Every structure is written in structure tokens, then in C-alpha cells.
């Protein structure tokens, strides 16, 4: 019976609307009060039934809900034979709830669109070698799958053969397709626009990047700010308090009309729902643009950021250094190049790759006694010669004295913003290479947008030499650029900024800057689906592109502002209603309920604006 009534709330709303219309028609046009009252009575009872059931169920689990306030108010109105009011109030309450459900579904649409991108089936290779269609749950890591044009990639995997362009919008929010071939990683939920590929499954089900993004966003949307937790606690006591207030008013004024009006006016609707609904819409907007916010606390902190610190490599620059200038000194350069290549081949330093690319194919020699000197370079033995490869500090340590020409070249390279790779063989400087990491296209515009958004300090930290860092800093228009910093220096620098009272966001690639990501008020990771980035940061830019950063900041600001507006609307409405009760003649239950439901819709509609939010050009 209960379920029958609750399941037909929508029908009840419709029927009571018709009954109320009929009632008013009888009363006003036909002047038939008896018929009008009959219609209102039926509408009241019909409408009150689901509300009363909900109130009772809540009471059984010890929750004093709004439903209870409304039930008592309606019962009160009914007892004082104000059938018109009881009918209108129940109708408005039910109709409001229906509208709220419809609009709330809208604010949550961004995340639902995401979950709907979840793959459902896969073409799996069976023991007999044929591919057969199976449900995605039946795919295990290690299985071989076929993906055809237009299909969703079912799991995280690696391409075994074939080639195709993949739209990764589900993961990165980026609409341009990416070309994938043998050895490339593909992600569940992305779509193969053309081509056919065979992949091996690496991660399936809840372990895929896609599933984890959804989980993260869902958790984030339900995380609560301090203010929100306060409101929740407040609401828990507020509702019973209104009930007590209503009884007190009845006891002192002996005016049941006023008492039930207080009950209706006291419903805490907009205040409770206003903040979460902004939050949901803001986080949803972010998810749609490839920005993951890990909670509402993150949004409010990011909205207040006044200092953004960038890790240079891989963030403002592409992270693919290349040799831009070189100079040779003395004889036997070919041999020195072979030694340089042999030593660099064993290093995983980012500059080593650039040097090897520059030298190209060569014959490598046996390298022994390798010693890595942190922050300086490498010393090793090749063919019985002592070879030192590193920066100027290493040369000094080795007692290598550059000649006059070398000195001018070193100065010139440094001024151009190059990182220096010097090679000395047996204490004699042979090769000087200048390596530069090109600035990311669009980085300059991003920084300008951030400035326009009112971020006062844009700082870049880097392990590269100061000359390099200055050159990039000038090119990009940063307020500060610091070089020669080890990861611990960067963390210490950030701590210093936060101690000064700045609200600091740190932007890094999440590879070796986790301390900084954790120390900053907001850690922003550029993570094309890397686990480390997702775990340690507060905000993840899914497509590894800082072009999303201004949008992230903009939506955070807009969301925070939206929450404040909603709180203002809610509090304003309560004050307005209270003033109405005490200072006006026209305030009654029906008006109170109308304004109350109207304010709830107002905060939801206000939050919905966030879904459309785009950064102004």
C-alpha cells in the first residue's frame, strides 16, 4: 500500500491539481462552498498521504524531516477547517519535489553523460583464435581484443597491431582524435574513430582509468566543505527546532493559523540544497572539460588562489629537450663524440636523450667506473680515458679550465637560455652543447589569461640553470623564475610562500614533484592518466595540457560565487518570509509554501548556469 502510494506520486500531483482547480471553480464561479470544500478535502487527503508516509518512515529511523513539518501543518489546517490551504500546500509541496527531481537530474547530467560512455561489450579472442562478442565483465587482463571502427575501447590496454585514430574525449575532454599504433596505450571509454586495432588488456573493470575517473568525480561531488557540514548539522537541529517553535507559538498566541504557517515557513529547503547543487554542477562542468576536481574543498581553495607555481619541465615547456647549439674545441672531436654518446647512453637524464638524438647513429664503446654526481653530471672511464659529461660545476670540480673561446661560447649559450652539456676527455674540454626545451605552444596565452583572472604571482621553478630559466621566464612573462632548484628546494620554496599567507597552487607533471604537489594549498597535476598524478594531486588536468588551467580557475571561481549566491538566496527568503509573518496581512501557508518551493527551484536553476560556464575570451 505504502509503496503503491509513493510510486504514484506523479499521478497524485496531477489529480490534486485538477481537484484544486475544480474547487476554485466551484467556490468562485458557482459560489458553491460545499462542493468546493469536498474537492479541497479529497485533494488534501490524497496529497497528504505520500508526505505523511515519508514523514513516518523518517521518524522510524529517527530523522525529523521536512515531510513531518508539512504533515503537521496540513493536519492543523485541516482541523481548523481551512481545506483550501491544506489542499494547496500539499499540492505545492509535491509539485515542487517533482520539479526539483527533474532539475536536479539536469545538474547531474554532466557526470551521467560520462558514465554512459562506459563500454559494454568487447570482441575477445577465444582459444580457437576467433573473436567473439562478450560482455565487458568477461574480459580479463591479458586477453586479446579486437576493436573496430566506431567501437568503444572496452579496457585499458596496449595496441598489438593495427593503427587508428582514437577520440579520447571521455578521458581527456579533448575532442581532437589521437593517432594510435603498435605499442601505444589506449584507454577504456575512448572511441576508435577509424581503423582497426588489436589490443592486449592491461587493466579491466574498476581498475581502468575511466572507472577511476568516474569514481573520483562521484566522490568529489559528494564531498563536503566545512560550511556545508555546518549547514548539515544545523539542518539536523533546525527542523525539530521549527517544530518546537510552532508549538510555542500555538501555546502563547492560541492562534493555530499562525502556528501552522510557521511550520511551513520554517522548511529549510534552499539552504540545505543550495551548496551541494552548485558543487555538483561545477565539478560536472570540470569533468566535461577534462578537469578533475577532487572535492568541494578543492574548489573553494582554488577559487582563492593568488599565486601559481609552475614546475618548468613538462608543464610550461614540452619536456622534450633538443640540442640547439654546439661548439667543439681541440682535436679528435669524433672520438670525443663517441665517448659522449657511450656515456649518455647509460643515463636516463632528460638532457641525455637530446644529446643522443643530436649525435645519431654511432659505435658505442664499453663504459666502466661510472660515477653519477648529483646535480652536476657523470664521470666514467671509456677506452682508458677519463670522460666527464655535465655542467660547468662538474668541470670546475674536475679542474677543467675552459679556454678563452670556450668561455665566450659558454656565456653566449647561457644567455640564450640553453642548458649546457660539457664534455671533457682527460681533463680537456672537447665539446660544448646547448640544450633547450621548447616552450609549450599556447603557454604564453595561458599565463596572460591567468593574469587577467587576477592571479598576481606566476612563478616558475626549475632544476635548470638560471640563464635557461630567465630566458623562458622572459619569453612567457612570468613574475618570477628560479633555477638550479632540486625537488626539496621547490618544496621548501612553496612552504615559504604558504607561510607568508599566500594561497598557492602548484602545477607539475606529477612525476618527481609529489612533495610540492602535497605541500601547496592546491596541487594541480598534468596527468594523462598516470596513477601518481591522480593520487597525489587535488586537481588533475586529464589531457596534460595547461591550456585547461584558466578554465579550471574560472569554473572554481564561478562555483564558489554560485554557492555564495545560493546561500544568500536561501537566507534572504527565510528573512523575507519571517518579515511577512510579522508585518503583513497577506502571508499564509500557501504563499509560504510557494515562496519556499520557488526558492529551492531558484537555487537549482542558478546552479545550472554553471553547466554552461565557459571562460570569456
The piece of 47-55, 425-433, 435-443, 535-543 that touches another protein (CB under 8 A) is 47-55
Q: Which of 164, 276, 377, 554 binds another protein (CB under 8 A)?
A: 276
**108 near another protein, judged by CB under 8 A:** yes
* Calpha distance 274→277 (Å, rounded): 6
**460 near another protein, judged by CB under 8 A:** no
**Phi, psi torsion values for 203, nearest 5 degrees:** -130, 135
For another protein, the closer CB: 54 or 313: 54
CB of 235 to another protein, least distance (A): 7
**Could you say which of 67, 143, 156, 311 is catalytic?**
311
**3 near another protein, judged by CB under 8 A:** yes
Residue with cell 575517473: 213
**110 near another protein, judged by CB under 8 A:** no
CB of 22 to another protein, least distance (A): 28
Q: Which of 100, 168, 437, 597 binds another protein (CB under 8 A)?
A: 100
357 is catalytic: no
Q: Which of 1, 61, 251, 363 binds another protein (CB under 8 A)?
A: 61
* Calpha distance 456→558 (Å, rounded): 18
For the record, the C-alpha cell of 329 comes out as: 674545441
CA dihedral 160, 161, 165, 170 (to 10 degrees): -20
Give Cα separations from 614 to 202, 205, 222, 230, 617 (angstroms).
Answer: 36, 33, 23, 31, 9
CB of 104 to another protein, least distance (A): 6
For another protein, the closer CB: 103 or 465: 103
327 SS3 class: strand
Q: Is 617 exposed, middle or buried (0-12, 13-18, 19+ CB in 10 A)?
A: exposed
The piece of 63-71, 149-157, 247-255, 305-313 that touches another protein (CB under 8 A) is 63-71
**4 near another protein, judged by CB under 8 A:** no
Please give the distance of CA 510 from its chain centroid, rounded to a whole number: 16
**273 near another protein, judged by CB under 8 A:** yes
# of chain residues touching another protein (CB under 8 A):
35
**218 near another protein, judged by CB under 8 A:** yes
**601 near another protein, judged by CB under 8 A:** no
Residue length of the chain:
617
The piece of 270-278, 365-373, 382-390, 605-613 that touches another protein (CB under 8 A) is 270-278
CB within 8 A of 340, min separation 6: which ones? 355, 359, 387, 389, 423, 431
CB of 65 to another protein, least distance (A): 5
* Calpha distance 609→566 (Å, rounded): 12
**280 near another protein, judged by CB under 8 A:** yes
CB within 8 A of 327, min separation 6: which ones? 405, 406, 409, 431, 432
Q: Which of residues 335-394 bind another protein (CB under 8 A)?
A: none
CB within 8 A of 188, min separation 6: which ones? 118, 119, 152, 153, 154, 155, 156, 203, 204, 208, 209, 210, 211
The piece of 105-113, 177-185, 400-408, 591-599 that touches another protein (CB under 8 A) is 105-113
37 SS3 class: helix
For another protein, the closer CB: 106 or 185: 106
H helix or E strand, kind and range, residue 390 = strand 385-390
For another protein, the closer CB: 113 or 232: 232
Would you name the residues annotated as active-site residues?
A: 311
Site for another protein, rule CB under 8 A:
2-3, 6-7, 50, 53-54, 57-58, 61-63, 65-66, 97, 100-101, 104-105, 108, 111, 218-219, 221-222, 232, 235-236, 239, 269, 272-273, 276, 279-280
Amino acid at each position: 500500500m505504502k509503496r503503491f502510494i509513493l510510486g504514484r506520486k506523479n499521478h497524485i500531483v496531477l489529480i490534486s491539481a485538477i481537484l484544486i482547480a475544480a474547487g476554485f471553480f466551484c467556490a468562485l464561479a458557482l459560489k458553491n462552498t460545499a462542493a468546493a470544500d469536498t474537492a479541497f478535502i479529497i485533494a488534501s487527503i490524497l496529497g497528504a498521504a505520500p508526505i505523511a508516509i515519508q514523514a513516518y518512515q523518517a521518524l522510524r529511523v529517527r530523522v525529523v524531516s521536512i515531510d513531518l513539518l508539512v504533515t503537521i501543518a496540513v493536519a492543523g489546517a485541516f482541523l481548523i477547517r481551512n481545506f483550501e490551504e491544506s489542499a494547496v500546500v500539499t499540492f505545492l509541496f509535491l509539485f515542487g519535489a517533482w520539479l526539483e527531481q527533474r532539475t536536479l537530474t539536469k545538474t547531474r547530467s554532466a557526470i551521467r553523460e560520462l558514465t554512459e560512455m562506459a563500454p559494454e561489450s568487447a570482441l575477445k579472442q577465444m582459444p580457437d583464435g576467433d573473436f567473439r562478442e562478450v560482455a565487458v565483465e568477461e574480459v580479463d587482463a591479458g586477453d586479446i581484443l579486437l576493436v573496430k571502427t566506431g567501437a568503444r575501447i572496452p579496457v585499458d590496454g596496449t595496441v598489438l597491431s593495427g593503427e587508428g585514430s582514437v577520440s579520447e574525449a571521455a578521458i581527456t575532454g579533448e575532442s581532437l582524435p589521437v593517432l594510435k599504433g603498435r605499442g601505444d596505450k589506449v584507454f577504456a571509454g575512448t572511441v576508435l574513430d577509424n581503423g582497426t586495432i588489436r589490443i592486449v588488456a592491461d587493466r579491466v573493470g574498476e581498475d581502468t582509468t575511466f572507472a577511476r575517473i568516474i569514481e573520483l568525480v562521484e566522490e568529489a561531488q559528494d564531498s563536503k566543505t566545512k560550511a556545508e557540514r555546518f549547514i548539515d548539522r544545523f539542518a539536523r537541529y533546525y527542523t525539530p527546532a521549527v517544530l518546537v517553535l510552532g508549538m510555542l507559538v500555538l501555546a502563547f498566541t492560541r492562534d493555530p493559523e499562525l502556528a501552522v504557517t510557521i511550520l511551513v515557513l520554517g522548511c529549510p529547503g534552499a539552504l540545505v540544497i543550495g551548496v551541494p547543487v552548485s558543487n555538483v554542477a561545477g565539478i560536472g562542468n570540470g569533468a566535461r572539460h577534462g578537469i578533475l576536481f577532487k572535492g568541494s574543498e578543492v574548489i573553494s581553495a582554488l577559487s582563492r588562489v593568488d599565486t601559481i607555481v609552475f614546475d618548468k619541465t613538462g608543464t610550461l615547456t614540452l619536456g622534450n629537450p633538443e640540442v640547439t647549439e654546439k661548439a667543439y674545441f681541440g682535436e679528435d672531436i669524433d672520438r670525443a663524440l663517441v665517448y659522449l654518446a657511450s656515456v649518455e647512453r647509460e643515463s636516463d637524464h632528460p638532457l641525455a636523450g637530446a644529446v643522443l638524438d643530436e649525435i645519431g647513429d654511432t659505435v658505442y664503446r664499453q663504459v666502466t667506473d661510472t660515477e653519477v654526481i648529483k646535480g652536476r653530471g657523470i664521470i666514467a672511464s671509456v677506452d682508458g680515458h677519463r670522460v666527464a659529461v655535465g655542467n660547468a660545476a662538474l668541470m670546475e670540480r674536475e679542474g677543467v679550465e675552459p679556454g678563452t673561446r670556450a668561455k665566450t661560447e659558454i656565456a653566449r649559450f647561457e644567455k640564450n637560455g640553453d642548458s649546457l652539456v660539457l664534455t671533457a676527455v682527460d681533463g680537456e674540454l672537447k665539446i660544448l652543447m646547448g640544450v633547450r626545451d621548447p616552450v609549450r605552444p599556447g603557454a604564453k596565452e595561458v599565463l596572460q589569461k591567468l593574469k587577467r583572472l587576477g592571479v598576481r604571482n606566476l612563478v616558475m621553478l626549475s632544476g635548470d640553470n638560471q640563464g635557461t630559466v630567465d630566458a623562458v621566464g622572459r619569453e612567457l612573462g612570468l613574475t618570477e623564475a628560479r633555477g638550479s632548484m632540486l625537488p626539496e628546494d621547490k618544496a621548501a620554496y612553496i612552504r615559504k610562500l604558504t607561510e607568508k599567507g599566500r594561497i598557492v597552487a602548484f602545477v607539475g607533471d606529477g612525476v618527481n614533484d609529489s612533495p610540492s604537489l602535497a605541500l601547496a594549498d592546491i596541487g594541480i597535476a598534468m596527468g594523462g592518466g598516470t596513477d601518481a598524478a591522480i593520487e597525489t594531486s587535488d586537481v588533475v588536468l586529464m589531457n596534460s595540457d595547461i591550456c585547461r588551467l584558466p578554465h579550471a580557475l574560472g569554473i572554481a571561481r564561478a562555483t564558489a560565487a554560485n554557492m555564495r549566491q545560493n546561500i544568500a538566496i536561501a537566507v534572504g527568503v527565510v528573512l523575507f518570509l519571517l518579515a511577512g509573518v510579522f508585518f503583513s496581512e497577506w502571508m499564509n501557508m500557501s504563499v509560504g509554501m510557494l515562496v519556499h518551493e520557488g526558492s529551492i527551484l531558484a537555487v537549482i536553476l542558478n546552479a545550472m548556469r554553471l553547466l554552461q560556464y565557459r571562460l570569456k575570451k
